[in-house]
Structure 1
Amino acid sequence: MVASIEMHLDERATRRIRVLWDLLEELGVQTLRTPHDGKHRPHVSLVAARALDPAAVAAALADVEVAAPLRLNFQFAGVFVGRVVFLGLAPTPELMHHQAVVWRALQAHGIECLPLYDPGEWVPHCTVSMRVPRPILTEALRRCLEVLPIEATVIRAAVVDYARDVYREL
């Protein structure tokens, strides 16, 4: 199980990514639209952990504007190990700094995050599918590229753990 701090996107960007999810589902790719009763929304995770206590996270981030109105630009599609397909963000100095501030505040309060989210390791992205079947991976990537670029603005942030039914806005 994984919990995360998600930055949610404006309506226009959210709609475009949901259209991509629909196109990929038609292709036979399970997207984030499907798991956990459709609770997932397009997002960028700032950190992830095996579990997060929402109250402890809120206290650790009391002085941080987690939902800062950052401008985001999705510019490429990629694949992580395990055939996890994602839309990649331009790693602007503002975005990278914001993520590092959130990570450091959590660390200062003893909240452990997965190493892939350490500043300098984190790849800013929006996951599209957790496991694309090998025979349709190329077609899935082509469909992702067809929706790019996508400009977005962060409108809210939340501590999320869908497997444990946790959702708390920050």
Structure 2
Amino acid sequence: MALALCLLLDRRSDRLVRELWTRLEAAGIPTLLSHTHGRHVPHLSYAVLLAWDAPAVRAAVAAFPDGGPVEIAVQGSVVFPRRRVALAGAASADLATRHERVVDALRATGATVHRHYEPGHWTPHVSLSTGVAGAALSAVVDAASDRLPLTLRCDRAALIDTSDGSSWPLPGVP
């Protein structure tokens, strides 16, 4: 179980990712549509917390200033360990600065940030599949490549409990 601070996609970007998920599912490739609790939404995680004090984290994220929507340029896909495949986003200077500010604020609450979400180790991404069989990796990469390049727009943010998909919207986009 983890708690994630996620940027959520606007309607157009959400639809594009869901269409890709649906296409992959139709080809027999599991995506976030069918993963675990089935309540996943297209998102870009700023930080994943392994341990946290819920009231402290909620207070910290409520205090973030609204930086407004952020756009993510996607030029390719990435395969992470355990055959997790995602759309790879570019880390613009603005996005990297926002990310570092968010992680610093969350760490200041005493939260433990997953090492892959630490500044300097974070790869902005939007997950497609979480455990693709080796033989199907090329199909996922091909399906993603057919949609690239694209720009995804994040216009909302939320804390999301990864165990059940519960969500707490933030008042703005950190």
TM-score by length of 1: 0.92
Give a deviation string over 1:5-54, Cα, whole Å, max 9, x none: 11001111110110100111111111001134531111000000225454
- CA distance 1:115–1:37, shift in 2 (3 Å): closer
Amino acid at match of 1:122: W
* CA distance in 1 between partners of 2:127 and 2:67 (Å): 19
The alignment status of 1:45 with 2:45, answered yes or no, reads yes
The 8 Å contact of residues 73 and 150 in structure 1, kept in 2 or not, is answered as yes
Percent of aligned pairs with the same amino acid: 32
Match of 1:74 in 2: 74
**CA apart distance, 1:63:** 3.1
- CA distance 1:8–1:54, shift in 2 (3 Å): farther
The 8 Å contact of residues 52 and 159 in structure 1, kept in 2 or not, is answered as no
TM-score by length of 2: 0.90
Unpaired runs of 5+ residues, structure 2, are: none
Match of 2:59 in 1: 59
- CA distance 1:67–1:22, shift in 2 (3 Å): farther
* CA distance in 2 between partners of 1:162 and 1:48 (Å): 9
Name the Cα RMSD after superposition.
1.7
Match of 2:100 in 1: 100
Q: Which range moved further: 35-44 or 133-142?
A: 35-44
* CA distance in 1 between partners of 2:102 and 2:74 (Å): 21
